[in-house]
Amino acid sequence: MRELSALESRVLAVLVEKESTVPDSYPMSLNSLTLGVNQKTARDPVMNAGEADVAAVLDELKSMSLVNTVSGSRVARFEHNMKRVYGIPGQAEALLAVLMLRGPQTSAELRLNCERLHRFADVSSVEGFLDELAAREPALAVKLPKAPGAREARWAHLLSGEPALPVASAVSAPSSSSSARDEEIAALRAEVEQLKAAVARIQSELGISP
């Protein structure tokens, strides 16, 4: 398997995400997949890809057996093959998808952000699957060096090669307090996303319009 481009990993991760979060719309059409790729929330970085770009990426992913076209519909629909191709369990698939969608995250952030794809019992179970991904040959995830002032190290996926690390300098390095504050803000944002998902599920179960 070759390394995936940024757009290829985004398309693959969106298919994994939407299979769990909007199962009624899965497999996905090209239009809905493009909207998911360009989604403004729960994405880092935010992208602005056209349908032609996504269609070209789908062809590449199909050549690697990572995506299949589903027949039997007037509109072509697409599904992923990530677990089978990479030989990973659903828990690891969820972690990699969230890392591809949101960039490097701590174990605690991953547990919150994976809530709608897989509900991990605790942070240690998240770390167990991350350690397994890091121990594979070739590795599919890596624990990044802890940033100055950070309380926890972040994890990144390796499906698109080695992640770019920020260049530390005396001028640009964040203070311990600002780094800790950034981590707290990221954790709070993850909790808000989790609460939104919970409210949406309750509204759906009760038949209440958002």
Could you tell me if 33 and 127 lie in one domain?
yes
159-194 confidence digits (pLDDT tens): 999 987 655 443 344 445 555 566 667 777 777 777
Place of tokens 């659903």: 90
In a shared domain, residues 103 and 186: no
Which range of residues forms the domain containing residue 191? 181-209
Structure letter (DSSP) for residue 26 = -
- Is there a single domain that holds both residue 137 and residue 192? no
In a domain, 100, yes or no: yes
Does position 201 have pLDDT exceeding 90, yes or no?
A: no
pTM: 0.78
Q: Convert the pLDDT of each residue in 40-83 to its tens digit.
A: 999 999 999 999 999 999 999 999 999 999 987 789 999 999 99
Q: Please tell me which residue, 198 or 160, carries the higher pLDDT value.
A: 160
Is 77 in the same domain as 133?
yes
- Provide the Cα torsion 11, 15, 18, 22; round to 10°: 120
Structural domain contains residue 169: no
The answer to whether residue 34 sits within a structural domain is yes
Report the C-alpha dihedral over residues 47, 204, 78, 15, rounded to 10 degrees. 40
Does residue 200 share a domain with residue 140? no
pLDDT on residue 208: 74
Q: Tell whether 122 and 200 lie within a shared domain.
A: no
Model pLDDT, residue 28: 97
**Is the per-residue pLDDT at 199 higher than 90?**
no
Q: What is the pLDDT of residues 116-166, one digit of tens each?
A: 999 999 999 999 999 999 999 999 999 999 888 888 999 999 999 998 765
Q: Do residues 142 and 155 touch, judged by C-beta distance below 8 A?
A: yes
Is 10 among the domain residues? yes
CA 182 to CA 174: how far, in whole Å? 10
**For the residues 3-27, what does the mean pLDDT come to?**
97
Residues listed for the chain: 210
Is 36 contained in some domain? yes
Q: Based on the domain organization, do 90 and 25 belong to the same domain?
A: yes
> Considering its fold, how many domains does the chain have in total?
2
pLDDT single digits (tens) 95-114: 999 999 999 999 999 999 99
Is 175 within a domain? no
**Does residue 194 sit in the same domain as residue 137?**
no
Q: What is the CATH number of the domain that holds 66?
A: 1.10.10.10
Q: Is residue 81 part of a domain?
A: yes
Please, are residues 109 and 57 in contact by the beta-carbon 8 Å criterion? no
- Examine the domain organization and report whether 188 and 99 are in the same domain: no
Which pLDDT value is given to residue 161? 94
User: Does 167 map to a domain?
Assistant: no
pLDDT grade for 15, boundaries at 50, 70 and 90 = very high
Same domain, 112 and 20: yes
Do both 134 and 48 map to the same domain?
yes
Residue 74: per-residue pLDDT: 86
